[in-house]
Chains A and B, each alone.
Chain A
Amino acid sequence: MKRRAAIALCLSSLLLAGASKPVLVPDVSARKIEIRYSFAGAQLLLFGAIVYPGGRIPKDRPDIVVVIKGPPEPIVVREKKRIAGIWMNAESSRFRSAPAFYAVASSSPVSKLVDERTAAIYELGLDNLQLSPGTASLPDKARRFEAGLLDLRRREGLYSENPAGVEISDGVLYRATIAIPSQVPVGTYVAETFLIDDRKVVAVATREIEIGKIGFERFVALAARRHSVLYGLFAVILSIGLGWGAAALFRRRF
């Protein structure tokens, strides 16, 4: 609501001042993604309109970059080495704030749209993620682990880059589809839309998306964490009950 009001305010002030900056009116297909027992991933549609001052579409059409970021979390990345013929975890490196999910889609490759500094400021593109590696690690090592992390998560579908993922029709309406894989962690995700014109970010709009387990899954995950004693007792009773039940059933049949 607040954002709408802000946009409206922005719009009106723009009209009044007659400024030349376009504005974004973004939306997402789902504000909430629910993970249920049969969750096999989801497709998230990010769409919206570019509102130009005076309603005139300029000849030099701007570009759109869409970023979805999962909640940042502290992680340890471990590297396997062959020790005495066995592959085992040897070195490790910490990252204090690696987003659990990161997807960027744009209407042309990000490197062509903005310079490195802008890309770093807005964290546009996988190479520009601020992962905050642990202070103790050497820059060389941190880079190696960062590459490993990015590669791993990219193949898991948790990190992705799509330089042609945003479609802009008639220079006004844009849309991007981003795949959310089934193993995404829960939390509050942020969808950011950047309007880029002449290598500068001219408008930003954000939307929050809640990804959560609901119903039974949520209940089980919460119970395991908060009421672990009861959860454990239930698991024991379940196994004894099922074993007993099967035995009783079969005694009657054979």
Chain B
Amino acid sequence: MDIYLPIAGQSVNALLIVALGALVGVLSGMFGVGGGFLTTPLLMFYGIPPPIAVASAATQITGASVAGAAVHIRRGGVDLRMAAVMTVGGFFGSVIGAGLFRILQASGQIDVVIGFLYVVLLGWIGGLMLWDALAAFGYVRRDQPAEPQPRHGHNRWVASLPMRWRFYASGLYISPLAPLSLGFGAGILTVLLGVGGGFILVPAMIYLLGMPARVVVGTSLIMMLAVSAATTFIHSVTTQTVDIVLAALLLVGGVFGAQYGAVLATRLKPDLLRLALAVLILLVALRMALGLAWRPDEIYSIAYL
């Protein structure tokens, strides 16, 4: 069933896009990630121009994180003050990111920058996950015996920042500048790559800020929800690359997929799943790397003034 995308200006197979959204949704429901890091590259492989893939994937992250965020708010697993500070940082990041995006678009380097950042990002995440999964199966040894870190062991570097605030829900007394800059970085990533940044935020919040695990996921979800919503809006206004038909197709597959994924996650073996996801991510990274290194099919490309 072909459907015409009014912004991308091309016809795509609607069922395939919904299936893609569902696949990513299932994964995001299972692992509690936004899934943007898979949506965007897969859309690009399908032939959607990278700027449109990035902007429309951000819309899907909003949809996928709503349900998760709602659950965490109900359970009280959210540090709203921390989330607010990070969201402010995220807004600034997405505005700066949008500026960068436009500059790169005008100079014709946006595609290669998106591709390159994805290879680095996916290679890194996929590698970490693969290592984790292999460790769980006992193929490699985890070399981190000091796992139970001292509580509130936030980075010395973070502790040295001026102007401290109390974050009661997290039980922290730290400078808001640290979560602000964390949000800022995530905001830039969301605009440039169409990813929520959860896979970076969660470890950073635990190891850098020293937040207790019970509030980390909820807080990062709230922040991702706000920032991806803002990103969708900013993309609509500045780069005008949000294709609402594409986003809606992805959302329909994604939101339901995410729900099924959450159910599936309780029934399947998590280590095996993590291994499968790690391999999938690494394959996507490899394909993107080859895309950058191999002589492209088209040496010439056309941009409209």
Q: Which residues of A are in contact with B by a Cβ distance under 8 Å?
A: 35-40, 73-80, 82, 85-89, 92, 94, 145, 148-149, 151-153, 182-183, 185, 213, 216-218, 220-221, 224-225, 228-229, 231-236, 238-240, 242-247, 249-250, 254
**Contact call B302/A76, Cβ cutoff below 8 A:** yes
With A86-B293, A224-B236, A246-B258 already in contact, the answer to whether A232 and B242 are too (CB < 8 A) is yes
For B300, give its contact among A74, A149, A236 (CB under 8 Å).
A149
CB-nearest residue of chain A to B236: A232
Contacts of A38 in B (CB 8 A): 2-4, 11
Q: Which residues of B are in contact with A by a Cβ distance under 8 Å?
A: 2-4, 6-7, 9-11, 59-60, 62-67, 70-71, 108-109, 111-112, 116, 225, 229, 232-237, 240, 242, 244-245, 247-248, 251-252, 255-256, 258-259, 263, 292-296, 298-305
**Contact call B108/A217, Cβ cutoff below 8 A:** no
Task: Give me the 5 closest cross-chain CB pairs, A-B, nearest first.
Answer: A232-B236, A243-B66, A247-B67, A148-B300, A246-B255
B232–chain A nearest beta-carbon distance, Å: 5
A90 to B289, alpha carbons, bound, how many Å? 19
CB-nearest residue of chain A to B256: A246
A40 to B203, alpha carbons, bound, how many Å? 46
Majority-rule SS of A interface residues? helix
With A77-B300, A80-B296 already in contact, the answer to whether A242 and B240 are too (CB < 8 A) is no
Contacts of B60 in A (CB 8 A): 239
CB-nearest residue of chain B to A185: B9
Contacts of B229 in A (CB 8 A): 236, 239-240
Contacts of A213 in B (CB 8 A): 6
A181–chain B nearest beta-carbon distance, Å: 10
**Which of B62, B111, B235, B300: most chain A Cβ within 10 A?**
B300
**Contact call A220/B7, Cβ cutoff below 8 A:** yes
Ordered by A's residue number, 26 sampled pairs between the chains whose C-beta atoms are within 8 Å are A37-B3, A38-B3, A75-B303, A75-B305, A76-B303, A76-B304, A78-B303, A85-B293, A86-B112, A87-B112, A87-B293, A182-B11, A183-B10, A221-B7, A228-B240, A231-B242, A232-B232, A232-B233, A235-B59, A235-B233, A235-B242, A236-B232, A239-B62, A239-B66, A246-B258, A246-B259
Majority-rule SS of B interface residues? helix
CB-nearest residue of chain A to B62: A239
**Contact call A36/B244, Cβ cutoff below 8 A:** no
With A73-B304, A149-B302, A231-B242 already in contact, the answer to whether A224 and B6 are too (CB < 8 A) is yes
CB-nearest residue of chain B to A221: B6
A40 to B301, alpha carbons, bound, how many Å? 23
**Contact call B232/A182, Cβ cutoff below 8 A:** no
Contacts of A238 in B (CB 8 A): 59, 244, 247-248, 251
A39–chain B nearest beta-carbon distance, Å: 5
B253–chain A nearest beta-carbon distance, Å: 10
**Contact call B236/A235, Cβ cutoff below 8 A:** yes
**Contact call A87/B62, Cβ cutoff below 8 A:** no
**Contact call B66/A220, Cβ cutoff below 8 A:** no
With A229-B237, A235-B59, A243-B251 already in contact, the answer to whether A182 and B304 are too (CB < 8 A) is no
B66–chain A nearest beta-carbon distance, Å: 3
A37 to B233, alpha carbons, bound, how many Å? 24
CB-nearest residue of chain B to A39: B4
Contacts of B3 in A (CB 8 A): 37-38
A153 to B304, alpha carbons, bound, how many Å? 14
**Contact call B63/A224, Cβ cutoff below 8 A:** no
**Which of B70, B240, B255: most chain A Cβ within 10 A?**
B255
A87–chain B nearest beta-carbon distance, Å: 5
CB-nearest residue of chain B to A246: B255
**Contact call B66/A240, Cβ cutoff below 8 A:** yes
B72–chain A nearest beta-carbon distance, Å: 12
Contacts of A151 in B (CB 8 A): 300
A250 to B71, alpha carbons, bound, how many Å? 12
**Which of A38, A80, A151: most chain B Cβ within 10 A?**
A80
For B116, give its contact among A86, A232, A250 (CB under 8 Å).
A86
